[in-house]
Structure 1
């Protein structure tokens, strides 16, 4: 199967970028806040932060942002300043993001409605440390400007009249999307194995959900590398077809699912093995007639007539969205 060109890939995707800012409710802890306590020099240690507002009240905004990022990463891959999403999934993605935008606006309104009362309750809870915290508080009007959720989508086209360096940069970014997808799929497969399958002799149908999500992502982005991605999808479809319509999943069926997840978790090994099989099949193929060989040799003698396809370059490691750490107290 032919390697897709840059234009083929760009024509099938939309870049969706989040425009989100959160207020942490934190300020830097300064030496004067500690009343002249002797501290080690900066090169040995640094002071942390003081929380000017209850972090529990701000949790909803982090949750909504994380949900938006998950929505995009479930169907797309990191690209430029956002996520490369298949155009076919755009309507669904927009519907979810609009819902999150609405929820964010409502949460912001509710948060600011009794901001002063919540702030006083937090200061009262701080007890002997309340004056240190009070010096760093911000008015509701300032906080309102720091809480924002939005998103935008745009189409990327190959720069025709741009410099060679600009074209090469975009070619590397686009060519690396397939590698980025494989890394993200590998990460998702590892997490699925650890959370739902490892050490279990049977699972419920709920455990199929992350497998189906991985399959849907691969199918939506198959245009990035049809041969490799298509092979993975075929394997996933084969094991899912054997799953019974009801009852627990166990035995050979469970082993098949674990096997395909392990394969995807070690995606580079799968790609190398597939390439080796393809090479062996090519070697084993019957020799072509002499006259056909001559024609092929003649065509190969003029490579400059063949349109070059951008070389696929590796991309940085997949960015995994960390789970939030529960935070309590006023300092850390």
Structure 2
């Protein structure tokens, strides 16, 4: 109970509400004229688009940016995202910027609304009556487009109340760690499919999703003891990489092994616990990803050095010496372990 209270005291919850007009209305039998339709018990009619979906794409894009922002910095919790208190102001400011873009796009769309709908009807002359009869007014559309969020702090009920009252809240707090590892696994799987699967060499851009995972973990180390050791594994991997150039050989094998580890929530918790227990260190784990390729790595690393000296000198490094020194430290556990 005390541990859960301490966790909640260091978190704020962001609840995001983004409403996007679907630009659709339900089809009715009259829309299809004399067409023979199956009975209602067998099938139901779908919907009709009364405006070009392309005109509304920007709103979906901005919503996705907001969700990505919260996913990168927090963990799903209750109706929104649990965000470290220390990051709340920064997240709030970034959401405000996205909201401003959303409202600008909304105003622009509403100014063009009548002409946009007219163009859509003209593009489908055979269905003019069906579309015209389905058009809604601009005020209705305005009410269906919105971007807002709430920020709130969760506290446990008074200690004098029956303990069963907040049992579900305590259960949700207790699951924060496993939820975080599940989200890391999902991000790592996406990174594997996009950047690592089947690769014989990597550009520096392949490190970006790992850096995002690392930043997410170090902001949430206080929700679960095994989070900090996993963040340390990633940081240790960063520190061992050459500062510039294409990544091949030992670096490639190590990163591929690391991403595969990050895809497995159970393995993450096991390795995190072994580090806490002093059974193994981050270096030991990373070494297992390359030890079976030692002979091949010797040759490839020499080739990498030669090629990098010739062709990669002006490639922008993701981590320079100063940046590595300034990687955010693992946050204090606030006395939870």
Partner of residue 174, structure 1: 173
Q: Deviations over 1:221-277 (max 9, x none)?
A: 110112x11221121111111111111111111111111111110121332455578
Task: Report how far residue 279 of structure 1 moved.
Answer: 7.8
What SS class does the counterpart of residue 88 from structure 1 fall into?
helix
Partner of residue 24, structure 2: 26
Task: Report how far residue 95 of structure 1 moved.
Answer: 1.5
Q: Deviations over 1:33-67 (max 9, x none)?
A: 10131112234322211001111001111111111
- The root-mean-square deviation of aligned C-alpha atoms, in Å, is 1.9
Conservation of the 8 A alpha-carbon contact between 1:27 and 1:136? yes
Match of 1:15 among 13, 18, 29: 13
Partner of residue 126, structure 2: 128
Question: Does the C-alpha gap of structure 1 residues 170 and 143 become closer, same or farther in structure 2, counting only changes over 3 Å?
Answer: same
Partner of residue 151, structure 1: 149
Partner of residue 196, structure 2: 197
2:68 is aligned with 1:70: yes
Question: Does the C-alpha gap of structure 1 residues 4 and 236 become closer, same or farther in structure 2, counting only changes over 3 Å?
Answer: farther
Partner of residue 230, structure 1: 228
Conservation of the 8 A alpha-carbon contact between 1:101 and 1:150? yes
Conservation of the 8 A alpha-carbon contact between 1:240 and 1:257? no
Conservation of the 8 A alpha-carbon contact between 2:14 and 2:80? yes
| CA distance in 2: counterparts of 1:274 and 1:71, whole angstroms | 26
Task: Report how far residue 164 of structure 1 moved.
Answer: 2.7
Q: Describe how 1:270-289 pairs up with structure 2 within 5 A.
A: 270-272=268-270, 275=273
2:265 is aligned with 1:241: no
| CA distance in 2: counterparts of 1:42 and 1:129, whole angstroms | 23
| CA distance in 2: counterparts of 1:186 and 1:95, whole angstroms | 28
Partner of residue 94, structure 1: 92
Conservation of the 8 A alpha-carbon contact between 1:25 and 1:55? yes
Conservation of the 8 A alpha-carbon contact between 1:112 and 1:140? yes
Question: Does the C-alpha gap of structure 1 residues 102 and 40 become closer, same or farther in structure 2, counting only changes over 3 Å?
Answer: same
Question: Does the C-alpha gap of structure 1 residues 152 and 280 become closer, same or farther in structure 2, counting only changes over 3 Å?
Answer: closer
Task: Report how far residue 152 of structure 1 moved.
Answer: 1.5
Task: Report how far residue 72 of structure 1 moved.
Answer: 0.4
Structure with the bigger RCO (C-alpha within 8 Å, sep 6+) is: 1
Conservation of the 8 A alpha-carbon contact between 2:229 and 2:276? no
| CA distance in 2: counterparts of 1:163 and 1:29, whole angstroms | 52
Match of 1:59 among 57, 60, 66: 57
Aligned residues between the structures = 278
Task: Report how far residue 143 of structure 1 moved.
Answer: 0.5
Conservation of the 8 A alpha-carbon contact between 2:178 and 2:265? no
Partner of residue 266, structure 1: 264
| CA distance in 2: counterparts of 1:278 and 1:238, whole angstroms | 16
What SS class does the counterpart of residue 124 from structure 2 fall into?
helix
What SS class does the counterpart of residue 17 from structure 1 fall into?
strand
Return the TM-score normalized by structure 1.
Answer: 0.80
Partner of residue 218, structure 1: 217
The runs of 4+ residues in structure 1 deviating greater than 6 Å are 276-280
Moved more, 107-116 or 264-273: 264-273
Q: Deviations over 1:285-315 (max 9, x none)?
A: xxxxxxxxxxxxxxxxxxxxxxxxxxxxxxx
Conservation of the 8 A alpha-carbon contact between 2:229 and 2:275? no
